[in-house]
Structures are given as C-alpha cells and as structure tokens.
Amino acid sequence: MAGIKDLGVGIGWRSEIDLTVERLPGVDFVEVVAENLHIGHLPESVTLLLERGVPVLPHAVSLSLGSADQVDLHRVEHLGAVAEAVGAPMVSDHVCFVRAGGLDSGHLMPVPRTKDALDVLVANVKLAQRNLPVPLALENVAALLEWPDGELSEGQFLAELVERTDCWLLVDVANLYANARNIGTDPERFLDEIPLERLAYVHVAGGEQHGDIYHDTHAHAVLPQVLEVLDELCSRVAPPGVLLERDDNYPSDTEIASELAAIRAVVDKHRG
C-alpha cells in the first residue's frame, strides 16, 4: 500500500515526553492516541514533528469494535478527523471490546473467538471503514483470561477478520508474548496463521512479570523475550514499521534511545 511502506522505527508520542520525542535521534515516525487530540488545536510538538516530515499515525483505544453494540460513529468520526488533521496514511484500533451492558471496563478486553463474535466484529469494522477517510489497521490485544468455547486460534481469527474486511494488521509483539505467557498462545503458530502481507506495522512495549502473570504495563522496560518475538516476526517478513509504546514511568532520554536502538538492531539484522 502506498504511504505505509518503510515507516522505520518510531515511538508513541505522549505529551509528558514531547520534548524527548522531538530530540531523540532515530525517531522515523510517531503514533498519537486519537482520543487525546482535539481537532483545531493540535499540540505544538505534533505540529513541529509534522513540519519536519515525521509521519504521525492516529491510534484509537475506544472504538470498541468487538462490542456487541453498534459502533459509536462519533468516535469513528473523531478518529477520521484526527487522521485528516495530521495527514495520516492509516489509523488503527484494537480487536477488543471496551464497553458492554452499560459498563465501561476502562481496558481493551479480548473478544470470544467464536463465529458470533467474528460476525459482529466484521460488521462493526466494515461500518467503521466506510466512515474513515484512510485504511484501518487492527491490533491484537493482551489477554489475562481466555473465553471458553473459542472456535478459532487467535491467528485464525485475525486471518478471517482480514479476509472478510480487508483491514490491515498491527501486530503487537508484546501482547503476543503476554498471551504466550498468560493464556498459552503459540507465537510462531500465530505468525504462521496471520496474513503477513497485510502487516501495517508492529508495536513493541515493556511489561512486568508478577508471579505467574505477565502484565503488559507499558511502564517498564522491554523484555529481551519480547524482542525475540520481534526477531521471529522479522525472520518472516520485513515489517513496514516498528513502534515503541511507553505510557508511564518514563525513563531517561538515554534509556528510551537505547530501547529504540535495540529495536532497530533486530529489524536491521534481517535486512541485508
């Protein structure tokens, strides 16, 4: 797809680290959380990055495309407006549900991997796509629990979703690692099953092992095991982009720079 090729290595732009993101070497693209931006007054830092020619990709967390309810078109409209404001080639959200039964979980919850859930998800995604000005990429989430009676593996479920909606995939290797640790997903099988030619880009994030549970916190350092999953992915396909997500407990500029360098080293290893 034109425009999404070769994003390079990027980082999630957050207002707390805006100056850091601006001065870090080797930030080829950034992602902004769409819900945090207001059309009409983009943060100065985002404008500055755009002026420098750094691609800015909106990432949504609240469409709740896996919800049984209809998609909230106001949220879709906002995401589309952010995409236009930053001239983004693509937007993204997650394969998850956030709200159900009048409650808000405040989190990206996994959907059951059943035919029912897939039918609803496909309908929601198609409606969102019709109301978005640019292509939509969907991301695999980290789950702490497994729905009973799943009919498909996670990879098969995503492959079906792509097949039926023509959406793009945003593969989060930290979530894949988390699911491997917590619910026994096989990362290699996952990577075998998803259509890698529809890979938009990749997320990398840090987390923390707590007892027998791995928590995808985005507030800790990236584990070497997560980079190994990235390595596995890169051995199959050259990802158009890889982006580091850090949402809290921001470390020093040097530490962030070295995490980006470690990601770049993995990507470069497979380019030759």
Partner 1 sequence: MAAPTAARGTRLPPEEIGYLVAGPGRAAETALARLLDAGLVRVSRDGLVSAVHETELGTLTAVETFILVHLRKAARFDAVVRNAAKSQEMRTLHQQLRARRLTREARPRLAVWWVFLAFGVLLGLLALLEPWTLFGAVAFLGVGFWTYGAKPLTRAGRAALKGVTASDRVLAVALEGFRGRIGNQSAGELFGLPQSVVKMLPRKRKKRTGNRGGAGAAGCGSGCGSSSCGTSSSCSSGGSSCGGGSSCGGGGGGGD
Partner 2 sequence: MAEIVEENDLSSARERLASRQAELLNALLANGPAPAGFDEQRLGVERRALLSKRRGIVRMLGPAVADELGDRFRPLFDAYAADHPRRAGSRAREDAAAFAEWCRACGELPEKLKARWKFWQSN
Count the site residues for partner 1 by CB under 8 A. 16
108 close to 23: Cβ distance less than 8 angstroms: no
Number of residues engaging partner 2 in binding (CB under 8 A): 30
Answer yes or no whether residue 16 interacts with partner 1 by CB under 8 A.
yes
By CB under 8 A, tell whether 11 contacts partner 1: no
- Which residues within the stretch 53-112 sit at the binding site for partner 2 (CB under 8 A)? 67-69, 97, 99-107, 109, 111-112
Single residue of 101, 211, 252, 272 touching partner 1 by CB under 8 A: 252
- Residue 119 binds which of partner 1, partner 2, none (CB < 5-8 A, kind-dependent): partner 2
Rounded CA gap, 212 and 8, in Å? 34
Stated as kind and residue range, the H or E segment containing 12 is: strand 8-12
Which residue from 45, 64, 92, 124 is in contact with partner 1, where contact means CB under 8 A? 45
Determine the 3-state secondary structure of 218 from DSSP: coil
When CB distances are held under 5 to 8 angstroms depending on the partner's kind, the choice from partner 1, partner 2, none that residue 17 binds is partner 1
Q: Which does 180 bind (CB under 5 to 8 A by kind): partner 2, partner 1, none?
A: none
CB of 45 to partner 1, least distance (A): 5
Please, which residues bridge with residue 10 across strands?
29, 243
CA 36: distance to chain centroid?
Answer: 16
Partner touching 19 among partner 2, partner 1, none, CB below 5 to 8 Å by kind: partner 1
267-271's contacts with Cβ under 8 Å and 24+ in sequence apart are: 267/9, 267/230, 267/234, 267/238, 267/239, 267/242, 269/231, 269/234, 270/231, 270/234, 270/235, 270/238, 271/238
Binding of partner 2 by 123 (CB under 8 A): yes
Q: Measured from the CB of residue 28, what is the shortest distance to partner 2 in angstroms?
A: 30
Residues in the chain: 272
Closest CA to 85 of 150, 15, 133, 120: 133
Q: In whole angstroms, what is the distance from residue 88 CA to residue 176 CA?
A: 26
Residues at the interface with partner 2 (CB under 8 A):
67-69, 97, 99-107, 109, 111-112, 115-117, 119-120, 123, 144-149, 213, 215
Report the interface residues with partner 1, using CB under 8 A: 15-20, 23, 43-45, 249-254
